[in-house]
Chains A and B, each alone.
Chain A
Amino acid sequence: MIKLIIAIVAVLVVSNVVTGLAVYYASLPPVSGAKVVTVVGPWAGNEKDAFLPVMDQFARTTGISYTFTTTRQEDLQTSLPNQFAAGQSPADLIFMPSAFIKTYAGQGYVTSLTGTIGPSTYKPGALDQVTANSAIWGGAYTGKVKPGFWYRVSFFQAHGLTPPTTWSQFTTLLASLKGITGVKNPIISGDGVGWPLSDVTEHFIATYGGASMHQALTAKTLKWTDTSVHDLFATYLVPTLQAGDWSEPITWDSPGVNLFWNGTYPLYFMGSWITGMVSDPSDLGVFSLPGGVANQGIVFAADYFFVPKFAAHPVEAKRLAAFFASAAAQTTQVRQGGHIATAAGVSITAYPSVDARVAGLLTGKTVLPDLDDTIGGTFQTTFWSQLQLLWSDPTKLDSVLSTIQAAT
């Protein structure tokens, strides 16, 4: 009997110790000097490679070493609140959507960055989404612009087409695109998990409802069921959906980009990152929806970061935050391509040429945060899946809008 108990205990202990040790060694921080800062961000692969030079620059100039861990924001959204409640934090500085930062700032889990960073070093409005109760709870890093419909310049030239400047020119363009052999639908509806449809919808709102409507919907002061919103959908988006101007939702990156590039669907609403996904970016042209109201907006989705209350190295974390807010750090980042700075003072010459053009599109328009990223949570899931429903059956507009409203 004793022998058997010993055997059981031994197996239990051994199997647990083995796993425990494996876990322990896997999680040991690298041996380093006195000063260290830990960062958690969503980037992996190429995006991570483009981000690490910024961290290296920080380490070089301050002598503070760093560790960077990739964790998806949807996973962090689950784990962080509970870790905060237990008085823990997985890192000193964390990249999360502004909605998250604001929510948990309200619960006292976020260190104020007032005094560390401020609007004076940023482009106007860049910190609005992370400012609450006259304190700054997070910083804006670089971001991505969603400027409008991309087309191939060579395709337009071959068929004698020009970018539209009025809504009726736009519908005429769609009609003539439909007449071209090989074109299945004029516009490709990028899909996958749902977001490209939300981006283009936001563009319709920011153009024909203006920046104010976009802001009011983001702030939840305007209802999705309001007549003005309903009319906007019914006047502009729904008729084009019903007219067959849009393709069926197609996985946005591949085959989506390929089908756009080979002319099956000659127009594509996409963020500025599309320039990195085609074989010849210089052949790309882009136009925003034409016409529209006086004060239009353009969506510029920035990455936001914050320092949690339970950060192990708060001093170093604040230095890093100040660095991310600086033109120096953001210059290094935009040089890698695909990113647009939020910091003031980043020279236009720092951008690769396509990005410089995109950055130029921002002038004269109100910069808006991404609507569903800003609200976040289950609203975002609902927003995406309801727009997919609208694309599938445009006659369901009323129920789509009321379901979206119910989820706010």
Chain B
Amino acid sequence: MAGPVLRLPHIRLRTVLVHLAAWGIGVAWLIPFLGVAVVAFRPLGEVALGWWNLSPFNPTLANFAGAWGNSDCPLSMGIRNSLLVAVPSTFIPLMVGAFAGYGFARYRFPGRDYVFLSVVLLMAVPQQMVAVPIFKLMLSVGLLNQFLGLILLHSAWGIPWIVLFMRNFYRTLPVEIEEAARVDGASEFKTFYRIVLPMALPAFAAVVVLQFMWVWNDFFFAKIMLQSTDRAVATLCVTQLSGQFTRPWDLLSAAAILTLLVPVGLYIVLQRYYIRGMIGWTIKG
């Protein structure tokens, strides 16, 4: 009886300390974002010597209005363009990758593992490796400075990880039902969309969240593919506001917040799928 009584205060102190440390770190982690948020809501004159100087303090939405309706690169347009690019760039590779992943999971053919490995290895390829030829290819077929060109590029680029992710997912599904369907004479496609597809929906959700965020957050491909200002996606707008010559921190902060609202919002709503996708992609489905 003496043991627990003696240990109780010890545990409490320890728990308190652990909580203090954890929450302290968590909040400290937010400071850079906090700084940007504070700058975004205040006139530049007040924060130019440090956003933590709170007098005078005149909160305003002017910076958001300035970024949203900016004449260099309005974020209203940037976010619309980002959506126009990101939505098809999510669903095309999802479909394409879901099929190919199934093929790699279930079909045997000579050299399959080597083909699969070479596809998966593409995840390691830096974007810079394809930049120049892609640029010339897109130019020659008239898809440079077109959303369609960027969409196709993102779609191709998303396939490797989606194939890996979906293939690992399919392999966790029991193969017997599919076999039974085949024995009953169902075609491969019928087997796939009657039996496999319904079970794969949670995995699809994970793919959608991750791929959408990946495309939304991309900067390099958009930078080389989209030249004219009226095609700029949100991430491009962030740098175009900073201009060739200036760094207007007030507009930049507001633009940064507007740009990250979509992926952060998506993360908050679909956190479960995001984490599951992230872990499945890296550890195992």
Q: Point out the residue from B73, B148, B189, B244 that lies within 8 Å of A193, measured CB to CB.
A: B244
Segment of B41-49, B122-130, B212-220 engaged in the interface with chain A: B41-49
In the complex, are the beta carbons of A11 and B248 less than 8 A apart?
Answer: no
| B213-256 contact mask (Cβ, 8 Å, vs A): 1 or 0 | 00000000000100111110000000010001111110000000
Chain A, residues 265-306, CB within 8 Å of chain B (1/0): the string is 000000000000000000000000000000000000000000
In the assembled complex, the CB of B139 is this many whole angstroms from the nearest CB of chain A, namely: 5
- State whether A19 touches B147 (Cβ < 8 A): yes
| B245 engages A195 (CB within 8 Å) | yes
A79 touches B145 (CB 8 A): yes
Which residues of chain B have C-beta atoms less than 8 A from A192's C-beta? 245-247
Contacts of B195 in A (CB 8 A): none
Instruction: Say whether A44 contacts B188, CB under 8 Å.
Output: no
In the assembled complex, A72 has its CB within 8 A of some CB on chain B: yes
A48 neighbours in B (Cβ, 8 Å): 71
CB distance from B18 to the nearest CB of A (A): 41
- Residue of B whose beta carbon sits closest to that of A18: B88
How far does the Cβ of A321 sit from chain B's closest Cβ, in whole Å?
A: 22
A97 CB → nearest B CB, Å: 11
Interface residues on chain B, number (Cβ under 8 Å): 44
Interchain CB contact under 8 A, B244 and A83:
no
Measured as residues with beta carbon below 8 angstroms from the partner, the interface class of chain A is 35 or more
CA distance A48 to B243 in the complex (A): 14
Secondary structure of the B contact surface, majority rule: helix
Contacts of A76 in B (CB 8 A): 227
Residues of chain A with a CB closer than 8 A to B87's CB: 15
A254 touches B147 (CB 8 A): no
Complex contact B230–A69 (CB within 8 A): yes
The reply on B72 being an interface residue by CB < 8 A is yes
Closest to B225 in A: A79
Q: Does A16 contact B (CB under 8 A)?
A: yes
| Complex Cα spacing A298 to B186, Å | 82
Distance of A255 Cα from B246 Cα, bound (Å): 11
Taken together as a complex, chains A and B put the C-alpha atoms of A22 and B118 apart, in Å, by 36
Contacts of A85 in B (CB 8 A): 139
Residues of A within 8 A of B135 (CB): 78, 82
Cross-chain contact of A19 among B44, B88, B145, B227 (Cβ < 8 A):
B88
A82/B245 contact (C-beta < 8 A), A15-B88, A69-B229 known: no
* A185-224 vs B, Cβ < 8 Å mask (1 yes, 0 no): 0000000110100000000000000000000000000000
The answer to whether B267 has its CB under 8 Å from any CB of chain A is: no
Give the shortest distance, in Å, between A219 (CB) and chain B (any CB): 25
A254 close to B140 (CB less than 8 A): no
Q: Which of B49, B73, B145, B190 has the most CB of A within 10 A?
A: B145
Those of A106-136 within 8 Å (CB) of chain B: none
Cα distance A8–B193 when bound, in Å?
12
Whether A86 and B139, one on each chain, are in contact in the complex, defined by CB atoms closer than 8 angstroms, is: yes
Min Cβ gap A26→B in Å is 7
Residues of A within 8 A of B227 (CB): 71, 75-76, 78-79, 90
Closest B residue to A79 using CB positions: B227
Closest residue on chain A to residue B152 by CB atoms: A16
- Whether the pair A74, B244 counts as a contact (CB closer than 8 A) is yes
Are B140 and A86 closer than 8 Å at their CB atoms?
yes
Q: Which residues of B contact A (CB under 8 A)?
A: 44-45, 48-49, 70-73, 84-85, 87-88, 91-92, 95, 135-136, 139-140, 144-148, 151, 187-190, 192-193, 224, 227-231, 240, 244-249
6 contacts between A and B (CB under 8 A): A12-B92, A72-B240, A78-B135, A82-B135, A255-B48, A258-B48
Interface residues of A (CB under 8 A from B): 1, 4-5, 8, 11-12, 15-16, 18-20, 22-23, 26, 42, 44-45, 48, 69-76, 78-79, 82-83, 85-86, 90, 192-193, 195, 251-255, 258
